[in-house]
Structure 1
Amino acid sequence: MRNRRLILDAALDVFSKDGFGGATLDAIAKGAGLSKPNVLYYFEGKSEIYVTLLSQLMETWLDPLIELNKRGDPVEELLDYVQRKLDMSRDMPSESKLFAGEIIQGAPHMGPHLRGELKPLFDEKCAVILTWIKEGRLAPVDPAHLIFSIWSTTQHYADFEAQIGTLLTPDSAMHDAAAAHLEQMFRQLLTPTKS
């Protein structure tokens, strides 16, 4: 288990920087401090390592959306979701870049997972948001595009880390400022107007 974890940790670093096409088993082995044959003892090849990483990531990545509670206060539930996604971008930038790289390439390895796991969950949470809107507990928004907006505004901080690091000083104050901005923006968007 220790060696598998070393390999997966090294692979995450390599894949998030070089993408699937640019990653090599030699680079993964070097990062893990193991020989290439040792890596191949635990995994059949680069594809198996990559799919293993993406599968584990998919589970982690979906957790905040799964936790969206249909019985909770709609605005607060969605703001909590925004915060959890922003925290993941801060705490898991390599994972975010790995996932973004896979999606940008057309999801060649994750297509079945997206259709089998993400699509039903996405549809379910869109239906919850639509119910909140119909009940007057949430301002009218397009549920799908709301979720896309949350993903893009939060994951931007990980996926475009180099750009943000050039323009701002990435530290806890920057993260707090981003959180405050996103909360204000989404709260204004989501809070129903009083009649």
Structure 2
Amino acid sequence: MVRVGIMGGTFDPVHYGHLVTAEAAADLFDLSVVVFVPSGRPPHKQHQAVTDPWERYRLTELATCSNPRFRMSDVEVSRPGYSYAIDTVRAFRREYGEQAEFFFITGADAILEIMTWRQIDQLMAECRFIAAYRPGYDRDHLREAVARMEAFSGRIHLVEVPALAISSTDIRRRLYQGRSVKYLLPEPVIHRIVETGSYHPSSCHRQPRE
């Protein structure tokens, strides 16, 4: 049976925390592959400026291409409308078949809001969840929250990842201020950002939400 990790996220921009999380999940859960799925139009960020989907896809591709266990999917950036996890998982089910076992990799904050996700019952039936959290995160609160999701608690696995202290929000702030992001992002990603100016405050790659 093939075990597939689904690494969904905005990746705005992708950083080492994402890569370390994916690699740790692959090791801990014996995943055959981890598929990075940059969101096209994330429904939870309707009122925020988000970098162009295809630019985020290209940056993530640069960051992941050297790892043979990682691959990319444009299933969400190619899809019109909002990006919902259930639609993505169903697309992978058609691709990988009924025998595949899916592990959706996300952050602890997302898990706390998971009951608001579209068609959560069907989503939980299709895949298990790996919730990554950083050192210092309130692990007891997280465990209690998961335990309250009675029917789903056995489908959610908690994993501590030290590199998650890196955040895309902080990286964007550094880029806007002209500060160094060295050792926070892979070098090819930094080179692309400098070349395109995609994270300059006036960049046309930034898309405001209505």
TM-score, normalized by length of structure 1?
Answer: 0.25
When Rg is computed on C-alpha atoms for both structures, the one with the higher figure is 1
Q: Which of the two has greater strand per residue?
A: 2
Higher relative contact order (CA 8 A, sep 6+): 2
Q: Which of the two has greater helix per residue?
A: 1
TM-score, normalized by length of structure 2?
Answer: 0.24
